[in-house]
A and B are shown apart, each in its own frame.
Chain A
Amino acid sequence: MPKMPKYFDEMTGHSGTPRAPYGDYCKWFAGENNARLLEKSEEAEALFRLIGVTFNVYGDPDATERLIPFDLVPRIIAAREWAVLERGIEQRVRALNAFLHDIYHRQEIVRAGRVPAEMIARNEAFLPQMIGVSPPGDIYTHIVGTDLVRTGDDEFFVLEDNARTPSGVSYMLENRETMLHMFPELFSKVKVRSVSQYPRSLRRSLSACAPDACNGRPTLAVLTPGIHNSAYYEHAFLADQMSAELVEGHDLRVVDGRVAMRTTQGYKAIDVLYRRVDDEYLDPMNFNPDSMLGVPGIMDAYRAGGITIANAPGTGIADDKAIYSYMPDIVEFYTGEKAILKNVPTHRCSEDDALKYVLDNLADLVVKEVHGSGGYGMLVGPAASKKEIEAFRAKLKANPGNYIAQPTLALSTVPILTDAGLAPRHVDLRPYVLMSPDKVEITPGGLTRVALTEGSLVVNSSQGGGTKDTWVLEE
């Protein structure tokens, strides 16, 4: 068993004895030996390599295909805990979708003085091309990954709302498959809710958002930047699992107001495009003219109702880290209820008082770029050297509006398997949410990311993080 942590450990709490959700697992674990489990660990790695569950690291020519390390100790969530998260996430996602509709139409929230006008107008992620556009079914955020962290028994915080193109869902699915393959006996002892329905739900959910132009059964496609993209495996996996075509920009063109793909029998219209390409590259005629990844004229077809794009262009503004700080207001404004899930207190460095506070307390804070992602370009004060802090201070002063700061949270830990037995490591959780006009569906569990280095708080796979299978227990 792990040594007593100073952080909340999800397996043992603060007490050192297993918490209730881990009871059955720990009983099973006590009968296992470490060497056998380490062997299983290698087996899992070989399996991932064979299947090709790899990702590409940008700027690393020697390791073009890497595995995300998989730890085989599951992260377990009780039914009761999940029920709260589920309600909180649904509330938040509905509010985000309503917010997006509002800011691209009447901007009531700005008129009401709850979000400052410049937060919208001067935001890079705000797309003027979307003003007045109503996507099919009024859905903007078809797929959301809500990043959560935990600090105590009932203490959950939302860290980020990923409303553009959240990745990682293939790991959620492959991790579970691998666990089922390696420990079938464990799943007969512990009743874990299934995640394997996700691709079917995704297909159903996207189909429910087909545009009026669609005749009969909707044709779906996944748009990928191509095999060199870091998440290509996931793009291919999802297309395969939902029986959709996996397309690149050069497979597509606009034909008679519809976005169509070049098939062996001519061009065929697509109804719903699940794009894994950023807004800016989507349409060289409307956005970045140098983009080779997109489809010339797709935005015009979109605005005319010829295709559904998931997520809708312009949703990026909702997962902007500066907008994030307004989320409690946003939830309340659109749902009329208090937010169920807490926000991490956030200092907007664009504001003078906040900037002063942040500069005075850099060593204790986490500072992030407003538009950053993947753990790039952030400062984790407590883990940084004096030199790193000073270098960051200069960047921050040069462009304060580009940053927000948050207190360093005491992220919970879950043990990982090491040569010396279990050892606690910090984790976060990204549940995956599907939204269609008729329902919000949250897959029980999600992707648990784990910082493999002792004491590290950075869980991103691009920074050496790993993943775990995430179990939500049945009632």
Chain B
Amino acid sequence: MKPILIVLYLLLNVSSVADDLCRKWFEASRIPKGPECLNKCAVLSTGMGTFMCPNLCKQLCEDNSLSKKLLEQIAYYPGLNKKERQLISEHPKEAVEVYNQKNKAESESQKTFGRDSSDDESDAFRHFLWAALLTKELGANLAKEFLDAHESEDSSENPSKAMDLANNRAGILAAEKLINSGKFSLDAVKQEALKGIKDGTLIVLKPQGAGK
């Protein structure tokens, strides 16, 4: 019985332990990800515990970071489009923030409207909030890149896309204004979003009823 257990344990654990060791070995080398990565990684010196790591260079050079593992937990991978995937590979650390703020915007929209829907007030509120929170975390330019990438697969004639882009833009502008005046907070952004819905400055294609 005992030998079977040991073999099972080894099967379950050895590969992840080796992966962790090699990731630490690779990170300690500070080789930048890019076209030269594979060659530099392949000739890195190894020790008793890391002699097999050069075999994993391809995987390590692609991306094996903690950010990626985190991202898999907070992002619906098949739902990411080409542009989003490209941006994530260029800005893995920021991508985690992008999807943390997205979750926050969705959750606030649900709390306020009791639903997350399309083309209605909850949609406008969600986009405004996500754009504003991202602007605070990443600055307006990178925030806009991620927000535009999220909409990049839809046809430019799609009215829903036009609505999302307009509400994203309003969120970025509102965040910049609040940041500059030193009044940025989640509550302030939510108030701005609700005000925008009420006075019609945010675009709502199919009004269903205002939130709290």
A binds B: no
* B residues with CB within 8 A of A: none
Q: List A residues at the B interface (Cβ < 8 Å).
A: none
